Amino acid sequence: MIDINVVKSDILPCLANLQGIIEKKSAMDLLQNIFIYTQDEKFCFEATDLEITYKASMPCKINKEGALTVNGKLFYNLLRSLNFDDINILEEENYKIKILSGDKKNNYKISGLDHENFPKLKHIDTTETFDIDSSVFIQMIEKVFATISTDATKIALSGVLFAKETIEDETGEKKEMIRLVSSDGHRLNQIEQYIDMTDMPDFEIIIPKKGINEIRKIIEKKEKFKFGFKEKECFVTTDGSFLLIRLITEKYPKYKQIIPKEFKDKIIIDRQGLINVLNRISIVSSAGGSEGFKLKIIDNGIEISSIENQIGEISEELEAQFSEQNFIIGLNEGYLLNLLNLMKSEKIFMMINHKDSPCMVMGDNDKGFFGLVMPFSIEEE
């Protein structure tokens, strides 16, 4: 029967990390619980939704060894509310947990369950891993997270393609590169980063959206983390934490085929100025129940106008550099705004072949990153 002493400020970060994994509503009540136990002089937690499993461990004073499950949300919220830091967690009969202050003046009880039927973390060979800089990977995640598909019928697009590829850089030297790609069918974001991982073979896997989010949470305060995968699962390890994620096994669409190799038209434009115009257009568009704008080349730059609706219409001109070809294209302002807000370049490049081809957006200070936005049909003027 568990009897341990822990420090509240040590245990809360671990419990916070597993809140997103705990099933809020489940046919299995046990999945709303977390598995708590002692092992190797540490206090351990496990949570799972059967697709993602999280384990954390921390040093503690063990008075008695033990194991049981307890409602994860209740346990976390109660500990978080306590106004003392030294905590004694003590198991009583019928899997009840007593939580006491160090001086024994305060005590609280919550009910637990037997751990025998809890789906526990299986052993995974973690010898083949590579180190990734946490801050770099989080920045990469932020570039692709918004464009993950929410369409339940597009299983492959409901995650992020994570690829490692050996390529030649600008000097002809072979380097290892990791790439993240996401798409909802209407737009696509891609970010690449060189990384030292020569011992790993090239690969392509799809990590589900929830898994990407959980990775971000457990690595955000770490300098580095280890990443690996085995068949249908990938895993992340940091100090005291282990995350196992079931991969999406559907084949990712051949996204490289829709990325144009060259472009006829290139528009160079101030990013913030374009954001300001699109924000104003979105006000009228959302009020009128329509989305989209028209971009047209004019003598001194470009003209951006909203799609006409009963509420109103906006038309503005912006200075821009462009090729001599005259064209007009229709784009979704929400998609383009999201992309522009992910960038930091002062000037951005909008590359277009014709009114029915994807618009690629890049910037000099956003190396390795670009976004594609698919156009919509508009009437010729």
pTM: 0.91
**260-373 has the same fold as 130-256:** yes
| Mean predicted confidence (pLDDT) in 205-212 | 97
Q: How far apart are CA 339 and CA 366, in angstroms?
A: 12
Domain ranges of the chain: 3-113, 130-256, 260-373
3-state secondary structure of 3: strand
Backbone region of residue 307 per phi and psi (left: phi > 0; alpha: psi in -120 to 50; beta: other values)? beta
Tens of pLDDT, residues 301-319: 889 988 766 677 889 999 9
The CATH number of the structural domain formed by 3-113 is 3.10.150.10
Q: Identify how many contiguous H helices and E strands the chain contains and give both numbers.
A: 6, 25
Q: Which CATH superfamily is domain 260-373 in?
A: DNA Polymerase III, subunit A, domain 2 (3.10.150.10)
| pLDDT at 286 exceeding the cut of 80 | no
Tens of pLDDT, residues 180-189: 999 999 999 9
Q: 130-256: which CATH topology?
A: DNA Polymerase III; Chain A, domain 2 (3.10.150)
Reported confidence tier of residue 260, pLDDT bands at 50, 70, 90: confident
Q: How far apart are CA 190 and CA 348, in angstroms?
A: 16
